[in-house]
Structure 1
């Protein structure tokens, strides 16, 4: 992705090195559960508040790679702002820009306290995206999804959840949650996450139109979408999959809906909730 020397967003809040308490409860099993429930945008409040804390955040020292990554995510956020302002204006709506919070180790949000192990997430309560930049290395090493556009996909997905919040979809989901069983709600959650993937694809389509995509960028994003499918994550963590517990969609579904958004570029084609074939 062509990003160096381009405008960065003013909506970046840097909390790295501010200290706090990291969530460590549950060991490997707890971390795996958090990844499955929250990875790439799930509402963390239901699980974060139920997990104890146990270790102090370590001191943070910014490296040159960290500095470059911070600049990169700021540029990607700025691009999402440009794209969604344009799309919302076309729909007769007003886009309210979210804030991206950079943190190290752990962070306090309106949804609770989160450790870096949960991965990037969006909190609808304060309309902020949260990311520990060390996740970029995890994306490459643990998820085998290298490349700057893989990271751009992650940010665009979180912004997709913000779009859902502005469109009232998040509030509808909250109302549904209190009316159905957890297993039934998981099905709605999958559709919510796939729609956020679709919105990420819509952004990528517009980014292509801006001339900032490079050869291989689309493949990097599709690879990242595949790497964070529920089936792939559960198989890595447990050695087997439990389909009824899926909350984000399979690898194939996530790739499919991101690519649909990339092909369409239009917000109205992303109604995953009424789609017969996910």
Structure 2
């Protein structure tokens, strides 16, 4: 993946260290946490709420944050990738006669208040908040991708960012509003299927971005990078995570899709580049 020296200009907020000393309380956000859409846990608000209740609260200390050279490299990488998503989606929206509203990538450490989705913390993994149209990322997740999930290579993090931007596309098109409205009207097991469809479509959109990268952006990809993307998608499949954490997989509890499904939809987006091919909600295999 060739990205060094690539174009910058994405909307980036650097909130590492959370300077200013902010006290964040985890209680009382059960009603809004459903709007927080994450890479592998955001679709399960019950799990997130349990984690937050167990944590109790978090206070960050006043002080200047000292970044590492590796963090600075990842920060530059993330901005270049975000800029490339802006370029691709601006082009595709323009083709459809629409203006693209660019999201913001907010980079933080440990925990951060969102603009309408409660408090996110790095344990959730990267996530998107529709209320403020921001993608939240703790750069330490890159290490987890490599060590905990076995997703190697630089493109794994690029896939993660592109997936969260995929949720932004869903927000702009009204999909997230529609699916969230369904939550209170359906049983958990039924809504899990809707959640899976939502996440797989975000994977598809990440693949669409990859399809256009070499044509429209300053980043250059090879097919080896795409393989890394599929491996990253597989690494955060519900079955892979459940088997690693509890020893078995329960398909009825899946909220993001299996490893095979996540690879399939990412690859489909990459190979087709056709937004009309990504309607996961009408796919018979997902009903």
Q: What is the TM-score normalised by the length of structure 2?
A: 0.87
Alignment partner, residue 4 of structure 2: 4
Alignment partner, residue 185 of structure 2: 179
CA distance in 2 between partners of 1:20 and 1:171 (Å): 30
* Correspondence for 1:69 among 69, 74, 83: 74
Q: Is 1:193 matched up with 2:199?
A: yes
CA distance in 2 between partners of 1:144 and 1:127 (Å): 29
CA distance in 2 between partners of 1:209 and 1:232 (Å): 33
Alignment of 1:1-278 (within 5 A): 1-18=1-18, 19-20=21-22, 38-40=38-40, 42=42, 48=48, 51-52=52-53, 53-57=56-60, 60-109=65-114, 110-210=116-216, 212-214=220-222, 216-278=224-286
CA displacement at 1:113 relative to structure 2: 1.0
CA distance in 2 between partners of 1:3 and 1:139 (Å): 19
Instruction: Name stretches of at least 5 consecutive residues in structure 1 with no aligned partner.
Output: 26-36
CA distance in 1 between partners of 2:159 and 2:77 (Å): 12
CA distance in 1 between partners of 2:96 and 2:46 (Å): 33
Greater CA drift, 41-50 or 117-126:
41-50
Residues 163 and 233 of structure 1, relative CA distance in 2, 3 Å threshold: same
CA distance in 1 between partners of 2:74 and 2:43 (Å): 25
Q: Contact 1:23/1:114 (CA < 8 Å) preserved in 2?
A: no
CA displacement at 1:57 relative to structure 2: 4.0
Greater CA drift, 44-53 or 131-140:
44-53
Deviation per CA, 1:65-94, whole angstroms, max 9, x where unpaired?
Answer: 000100000000000000001111111222
Greater CA drift, 191-200 or 14-23:
14-23
Residues 228 and 166 of structure 1, relative CA distance in 2, 3 Å threshold: same
Aligned residues: 268
Q: Contact 1:40/1:154 (CA < 8 Å) preserved in 2?
A: no
CA displacement at 1:9 relative to structure 2: 2.8
Q: Contact 2:23/2:60 (CA < 8 Å) preserved in 1?
A: yes
CA displacement at 1:179 relative to structure 2: 1.4
Deviation per CA, 1:167-186, whole angstroms, max 9, x where unpaired?
Answer: 01011102211211111000
Deviation per CA, 1:108-149, whole angstroms, max 9, x where unpaired?
Answer: 112111221110000111110000000001100101101111
- The alignment's C-alpha RMSD in Å is 2.3
SS of aligned partner of 1:107:
strand
Instruction: Name stretches of at least 5 consecutive residues in structure 2 with no aligned partner.
Output: 28-36
Greater CA drift, 42-51 or 189-198:
42-51
CA distance in 1 between partners of 2:41 and 2:176 (Å): 12
Q: What is the TM-score normalised by the length of structure 1?
A: 0.89
